[in-house]
Structure 1
Amino acid sequence: MKTLLSVLIMLTAVSGAVAQEPPAASPAASPAAPDPGTAGDASGGQDAVPEARRPGRAGASVVLCYHHVEDPAKNEYTVTQADLEAQMAWLKKEGYNVVPLEKLVAAYRGQGTLPEKAVAITFDDGWRCANEKALPIFKKHGFPCTLFLYPDMVGPGKHKNSYDEYKAMLADPLVTIGGHSYSHPYLTKDGGKLKGADYTRFLQREYVQSKLQLEKKLGVPIKWLAYPYGLYDEQVARLREEAGYEAAFTVNGAANSALAGPMFLDRYMIMKSDGMKGFVRKVQSLPLELTELDPGNGALVPASRRTFSVKIVQPDVDPRSVQMTIGGKGKSTFDPTTGVARVEAAGNLSAKMHQITVQARDTKLGRFRRQCWFVRVRGAPAAPAVVREKRGKDRGAGTADSGGDEAGDDTSDRTDRGARPDRRPGKDVGGAQGQAPAEGSEEDGER
């Protein structure tokens, strides 16, 4: 079993997979152009629990995800104030439209469109540095920001904020708040030591009670969810719906296409190793328009399943460049007459999360477009790794009970998979502070 540390290191490697382009595949003709009337819920993340199809196109976007701002940045999921300032200044200089999450979500719910070069900014977990070091920079540039919180990270402590402090932040119209579970656990397991009613109560607390708690304490509706560790499956989707969230965010490391569905909106983790070059690559990444994901995003599949498919509806794609992988592996084929790409796994899949990635070169722009989604193979045995608060001594966050190999090693490109809050800011844990992995580190294409 992989340790949590090895998983976090893997996530770090995955997060850097923005720039490389793969070799061209065998020749074929171009796929058909998309039909705006059948846009549906495809974003490289179609909902496993289908939502009503909607006409129109929201517009493409990139959502950024930060975790820590510290000087110096000792942890991979930490950026310095100078780097953050430079990144925000670059967005303004280059004419990016930093939109409130409210507007972005409304567009993907079919209630408007996004401007060109749309970007949204999010900050996960609720570290004090978000208030003291990040928000002043966002406000300086007039950029809205959404903080994703979980109640176990709110309260007294050197690295935490109180509910009163969050209320003060909300007095600024540029600041909004979303939910991030109750204790930041892995929620894509089959229960492990928790069985039956006990496991149901655990899940209800993480998704439903956490939302109610934040709404009660802050006096504002909590409408959006950031999946803890960026992990999700069909069970998580049902809980998300029961709780009444209007949108949910991954950290799959991709831009959102005009066809994205609101329950699987992708984000890019911004990391220490990105530097300005990596930051720019992420912001300038291109989404790939997909429909008919089979299986859907977050689907539970048997280990014996070998073939996975999707329809590419992105115009101006070089058919020779189309590549599809599962966990960074598999035999990829593409039918230009139907626009359907397939990947065949070499053997039975292990019981964990697996990332499916599709990419293709845009013939007009000469750059790669990329999209991805996750499936879970039944049978992951370990219990959820609940983050528990250290008693008596402030560690700035909880400590993970188990970690295990939650999503195995198939994160391919996710990054919170959220940042795991079991270390103080600046405490180097060797990699990502928070996401569990999917499988295979794919360095595929420009995102």
Structure 2
Amino acid sequence: MRKQVCVKKKRYVRALLIVLLLFPLVDFAWGGGTEDGRVAVPILLYHRFGPVVADSMTIKTSVLASQLEYLHTHGYTVIPLRQLIASLAGKAPRLPDRSVVITADDGHESVFTDLFPLIRRYHMPITLFIYPSAISNASYSLTWSQLQEMKDSGFVDIQSHTYWHPNFKKEKKRLSAQEYENFVHRQLFKSREVLQQKLGGTVDMLAWPFGIYDDELINDARQAGYIVAFSMARHPVTRSDSMMALPRYLMINPVQGIVFEKLLAESSLSREKRENHP
């Protein structure tokens, strides 16, 4: 019995440490713009879902459902990612208070079976970042018909996560300079080409695999036609962030219940303080 308690305590401490590392308290105003035009909006980054936590990137579907329900019932507005980008560029009106953006990377089949029904229920727009080499090929992956159905719903925008999700740091060490240049070109261009050919629409947003990028990759991405890209830095998006490395919060299963609620509440309090004390 004592051994079981120790194991549970260790698991709790480990989960708590992960949460603290992923979500440091920052003095940012989540959820829209202030009267003077400041913007601070969190982008939530999900990967896959299921009845149990199969790995570090899996969130229980029940946890996801409770998070979306909380956003829906507590005054948060889930806005399209493109609306946030337009606001950052000064091409859109002031964002709603308590704005939040939802994204999901990779293209796991649970995005269709678990996430998609929930966003339709709540009418929440999302953006998927897909690496097309896996689609209709890998056993865990979405199919092209599923992606098309989600896109046709009007709730889902589909963008690039490179062609097959490489680790650019490792590839740069492994390949010659010319080989690496060709490799990057293929990853960036072919992803856009395939997604646009298969699904139509405009693919001009990129999520960096593993959050890895540098100035060279940013220049390559711009040349490939991407106007904005996303990292995994853990803070809300503000006007001071680079448009080619906008931050997103990695969502993991321990960020649930009171932890999720407190995270949003503290961010809202931070916003009120900044508005009342400019």
TM-based fold match above 0.5: yes
Query: Which residue does 2:125 correspond to in 1?
Result: 144
Query: Which residue does 1:102 correspond to in 2?
Result: 82
Alpha-carbon deviation of 1:208? 1.8
Deviations 1:362-400 (A, max 9, x none): 9947xxxxxxxxxxxxxxxxxxxxxxxxxxxxxxxxxxx
Deviations 1:45-72 (A, max 9, x none): xxxxxxxxxxx73621011011111001
Equivalent position to 1:217, from 198, 201, 204: 198
Alpha-carbon deviation of 1:187? 1.8
Equivalent position to 2:41, from 40, 61, 83: 61
Alpha-carbon deviation of 1:74? 2.8
Equivalent residues in 2 for 1:42-441 (5 A)?
57=37, 59-112=39-92, 113-188=94-169, 191-284=172-265, 286=267, 364=273
Greater strand fraction, Structure 1 or Structure 2: 1
Q: Unpaired runs of 5+ in structure 2?
A: 1-13, 27-35
Alpha-carbon deviation of 1:161? 1.7
- Give the whole-Å Cα distance in 1 for the aligned partners of 2:243 and 2:177: 30
- Counterpart code for 1:199: Y
> Residues 273 and 221 from structure 1, CA distance in 2 versus in 1: closer, same or farther, beyond 3 angstroms?
same
- Counterpart code for 1:191: K
> Residues 284 and 229 from structure 1, CA distance in 2 versus in 1: closer, same or farther, beyond 3 angstroms?
farther
- Counterpart code for 1:91: L
Q: Contact 2:22–2:250 (CA<8 Å) still a contact in 1?
A: no
- Give the whole-Å Cα distance in 1 for the aligned partners of 2:130 and 2:24: 34
Query: Which residue does 2:32 correspond to in 1?
Result: none
> Residues 223 and 13 from structure 1, CA distance in 2 versus in 1: closer, same or farther, beyond 3 angstroms?
farther
Query: Which residue does 1:17 correspond to in 2?
Result: 21
Q: Unpaired runs of 5+ in structure 1?
A: 1-9, 23-55, 288-360, 366-447
- Give the whole-Å Cα distance in 1 for the aligned partners of 2:119 and 2:272: 36
- Give the whole-Å Cα distance in 2 for the aligned partners of 1:179 and 1:152: 11
> Residues 229 and 142 from structure 1, CA distance in 2 versus in 1: closer, same or farther, beyond 3 angstroms?
same
Matched residue SS, 1:192:
helix
Q: Contact 1:58–1:108 (CA<8 Å) still a contact in 2?
A: no
- Give the whole-Å Cα distance in 1 for the aligned partners of 2:76 and 2:43: 12
TM-score, normalised via structure 1 length: 0.52
- Give the whole-Å Cα distance in 2 for the aligned partners of 1:282 and 1:267: 14
Alpha-carbon deviation of 1:158? 3.3
Number of residue pairs the alignment of both structures matches: 250
**Identity of matched residues, %:** 26
Alpha-carbon deviation of 1:277? 2.7
TM-score, normalised via structure 2 length: 0.81
Alpha-carbon deviation of 1:278? 2.9
Q: CA RMSD in A?
A: 2.8
- Give the whole-Å Cα distance in 1 for the aligned partners of 2:213 and 2:225: 16
- Give the whole-Å Cα distance in 1 for the aligned partners of 2:174 and 2:24: 42
